[in-house]
Structure 1
Amino acid sequence: MSVPPVYRRWVTCPEPRPQASLRLFCFHFAGGDASIYRLWTTQLPAAIEVCPIELPGRATRRAEPPITDFGTLIDTLARRVLPFLKERPFAFFGHSFGGVIAFELTRTLRRLGAPMPVRLFLSACPALHRRPRAAPPISHLPDTEFLEQIALRFGTPREVLTSQDVRETVLPALRADLFLAESYRYVPEPPLGVPLSSFGATEDATVGPQEVREWGEQTTADFRPRMFPGNHFYLATERPRLYQALLEDLQFP
């Protein structure tokens, strides 16, 4: 498929698979980048073409200013992914704040009358309609306090957060993404007609089993909640189980 380079900056494709029957768009967590899905491109079946989304302000797009307003991000992202949605069926997978992005992008596509995903996967993401109060903002805090709050909220090891490499390469994107997350406000809309899978982890203090199940209220189609061993970042340690769940819910043999 031929699309302008600016679109390819947003929609990466480490291993193009022209014969694939489905595209899986993956949305990274706050402070992350498209590389967290690199192994997926080779470990999932050849029938799936993995397309991780790369937001500006990180990794290959570090020189670009990050987007810090949620509405602007979703409107821009919708324009960038539209050329990729008409060739073949597709699904969305979003982890943590990436789940918020995947969910709201799906609702935006519905408003635009655009093609819809065959399934929406929301991982380690709270049921937004059941969280009336946003967590206290932390994006404005000094570096040390900011990273301490990240460790407390998400269980990220402090030794990782305090490394010089993290401060230089991850901290700017993480702060920008938290500022972006803090600009988000849930607005009620009718449930989606899209099948939805909600994944959580048994040791994740930020998203409990009930919040995983409550995502079922956001779809009128098939809903499948699942819990995996591990913490908020279980997707790095439970890949075989996660892949199996993805393939089952996508009805791949």
Structure 2
Amino acid sequence: MRVPPVYRRWVTCPEPRPQASLRLFCFHFAGGDASIFRLWTTQLPSFIEVCPIELPGRATRRGEAPITHFTELIEKLSGMMRPFLNQLPAAFFGHSFGGNIAFELTRLLRRTGEPMPLRLFLAASPALFVRPQLPPPVSHLPDSEFLERIGSRYRLPQEVLASEDFQQEVLPALRADMSVAESYHYTREAPLEVPISAFGAEGDPEVSPAEAQAWCRETNVGFRLRMLPSNDHFFVSTERRRLHQGIIEDLQGLAG
């Protein structure tokens, strides 16, 4: 990657592929980090170079202060990704919280006249504009109540939430990401000239099939919904084979 190291803190590339014709930028769910996509770098075909995004305040960037406001995060991301977007065609994949980031980043790129992705992949990500009301804020709550609400909302095992590793390694990033999510406000704009592929889980407690289908309203040039046989909101790992199959099908032939 021909960019200064400061940009590569944000845009990681575990397996550079100089001959790739397209980059897939991957945005993790709340509390996650770039390592979620580690196996993707070797399991997707050679024409795709996988570039997971690493946000500050976690994993390799644990010592940095996290960003806690949506607008600040999107604007910072657009600046850090600009050199990469000018080098090679791109697609965006976002899971849950990461899907809303990928969507709003694409709309910001359109407003500023920057290169936009060839396709958006949104997994376990609700089209929030169809919800009559959003869940009550939780990021301000004490740790015990915060984890109780998060565990109930996403069906996370209590033994995982109570583990020392989770509370030391994940909790600070999760709280920051929930602050970002709670500061997000959807505003209506013209549909994108970017096709959208949505993935949902049939038994997802957080995202209904209707909320996944509603992304069709945000594009003028093609939409596809795939519902996966899972009850897990975090199917980015458990349904990796089906996700990869869908991504490959929809990217084949898009970049030269």
Please state which band the TM-score falls in when normalised by the shorter chain.
over 0.9
- CA distances 1:157-196 after superposition (whole Å, capped 9, x unpaired): 2211111110011000001111111111111111101000
1:147-226 matches, cutoff 5 A = 147-226=147-226
| Counterpart position of 2:29 | 29
The gaps in structure 1 that reach 5 residues or longer are none
- CA distances 1:34-72 after superposition (whole Å, capped 9, x unpaired): 000000001111111000000000000000000011111
Confirm whether residue 234 of structure 1 aligns to residue 213 of structure 2.
Answer: no
Equivalent position amino acid for 2:237 in 1: A
C-alpha displacement of 1:156 = 1.6
C-alpha displacement of 1:251 = 2.3
* Separation (CA, whole Å) in 2 of partners of 1:58 and 1:252: 35
* Separation (CA, whole Å) in 1 of partners of 2:153 and 2:135: 10
Equivalent position amino acid for 2:219 in 1: T
| Counterpart position of 1:96 | 96
Equivalent position amino acid for 1:159 in 2: E
| Counterpart position of 2:114 | 114
* Separation (CA, whole Å) in 2 of partners of 1:43 and 1:70: 31
* Separation (CA, whole Å) in 1 of partners of 2:206 and 2:9: 31
| Counterpart position of 2:66 | 66
- CA RMSD in angstroms comes to 1.2
| Counterpart position of 1:130 | 130
Percent identity over paired residues: 66
C-alpha displacement of 1:118 = 0.6
Equivalent position amino acid for 2:3 in 1: V
C-alpha displacement of 1:108 = 0.3
1:46-65 matches, cutoff 5 A = 46-65=46-65
* Separation (CA, whole Å) in 2 of partners of 1:248 and 1:205: 27
SS at match of 1:63: coil
* Separation (CA, whole Å) in 2 of partners of 1:117 and 1:156: 33
* Separation (CA, whole Å) in 2 of partners of 1:221 and 1:211: 19
| Counterpart position of 1:247 | 248
* Separation (CA, whole Å) in 2 of partners of 1:56 and 1:131: 29
The gaps in structure 2 that reach 5 residues or longer are none
* Separation (CA, whole Å) in 1 of partners of 2:220 and 2:113: 18
Aligned residues: 253
C-alpha displacement of 1:129 = 1.8
When normalised by structure 1's length, the TM-score is 0.98
* Separation (CA, whole Å) in 2 of partners of 1:211 and 1:143: 29
- CA distances 1:132-178 after superposition (whole Å, capped 9, x unpaired): 42210001111111111111111222211111110011000001111
* Separation (CA, whole Å) in 2 of partners of 1:177 and 1:119: 24
SS at match of 1:226: strand
* Separation (CA, whole Å) in 1 of partners of 2:52 and 2:85: 14
Moved more, 101-110 or 84-93: 84-93
SS at match of 1:118: coil
* Separation (CA, whole Å) in 1 of partners of 2:15 and 2:249: 22
C-alpha displacement of 1:130 = 1.0
